Amino acid sequence: MAHYLITGHTGFKGAWLVFLLKAQGHDVSGLALEPLPGSIFDRTNLENDLVHDFRVDIRNRDETIEAIRHAQPDYVIHLAAQALVREGYRNPRYTYETNVLGTLNVLEAVDKTDSVLAQLIVTTDKVYLDQGLNRPYVETDPLGGKDPYSSSKAMADILSQEFLGRAGSKPGAIVRAGNVIGSGDIAQERLFSDIFVALDYSKPLFIRNPTHTRPWQHVLDCLGSYLVILQEAAHKGYTGCWNVSTPSHLSLSVERVLDIIGESLQLQIDFQVAEPDSFHEDSFLDLDVTKFAGSFGKVAKLDPQESVAWVLDSLAGRSEDYRSLLLRQIESWGSM
């Protein structure tokens, strides 16, 4: 049994990771902002499962260092971020401060905490420079960004490479994940939350880019890969950057995902194409996962269509206790 500290544990992936680690028998602490009303963390009273539950803004260097040193974890997984592309346009200063300086603060805090054996820095598939190549990105492709979110995460990625590559730094790795889906993602301007709000409240559904393709990886496959890479870093030191995603040939367009949801729910899901705006979003985003597959074998237990079905399972099970539903899916995933 080990002690993990997760930054951003009140968010979507962070809350799932707390459940997954607890199911595996580990102790977990967290450092994050307040949870959103109706989030997984809020609905399951997840604070009761934590050793330490710090409410700290990672932009505050001193408080971040103090919290992580106080917790004395074995492993740190840095998830905390401003994670929405369109919010980055609306609030670029906050996005850069959180994603760049916040990451530096976490790296420095880990370096000052003797107990830490290894760390994982989570960035995104959007760190890659869009050169119009229309192929999956490999870890050695150049980084860049055409919007504040993407460029801030690319900056955080480059910063982390430099920091973790220093002699004497704590062992670690950087992971770049694609679009992750699962029950409980309530962030605005995300496809599934937009769909379910439209269905629940009989509102019109506006889709910005129906032809855009994404990997649609289930959150458990993503988090499981994170933990594998973290242990690799603990044993071997700094292991560089890793793409984490479903295989690129399984990617689906937004429109195809809508068809799958409609077929599963036996509904006709009508949508309107939203009016174009000045916010840039890449039409094609796929990751080459050859590095991960070559080191660890199977990349994902669920393909995108199965991942969508697992999200819909949470709708079918609304009468089920929400904590029980999440734990049931974790158990099913773990037995695959």
pLDDT at 280: 63
The backbone region for 66, taken as left when phi is positive above 0, alpha when psi lies in -120 to 50, beta otherwise, is: alpha
Residue 1: its pLDDT value, please? 92
pLDDT confidence of residue 179: 85
Task: List the domains of the chain with CATH numbers.
Answer: 3-177+218-245+283-301+322-334 (3.40.50.720)
98: amino acid identity, one letter: T
Mean pLDDT by 10 residues, the chain (336 residues): 97 97 98 94 95 98 98 98 92 98 98 98 94 89 94 98 95 94 81 75 78 87 98 96 89 84 80 71 81 92 89 69 92 95
Q: Judging by beta carbons within 10 Å of its beta carbon (0-12, 13-18, 19+), is residue 204 exposed, middle or buried?
A: exposed
Q: Which residue has the tokens 């962030």?
A: 187
pTM across the whole model: 0.92
- In Å, the largest CA–CA distance within the chain is 58
pLDDT in tens, 153-200: 999 999 999 999 999 899 999 999 988 999 888 776 677 777 777 777
- Token look-up 């709708």 returns 315
pLDDT score for 318: 58
Q: Cα-atom radius of gyration of the chain, to the nearest Å?
A: 19
Question: Given this model, what pLDDT does residue 316 score?
Answer: 58
Beta strands 272-273 and 217-218 are: unpaired
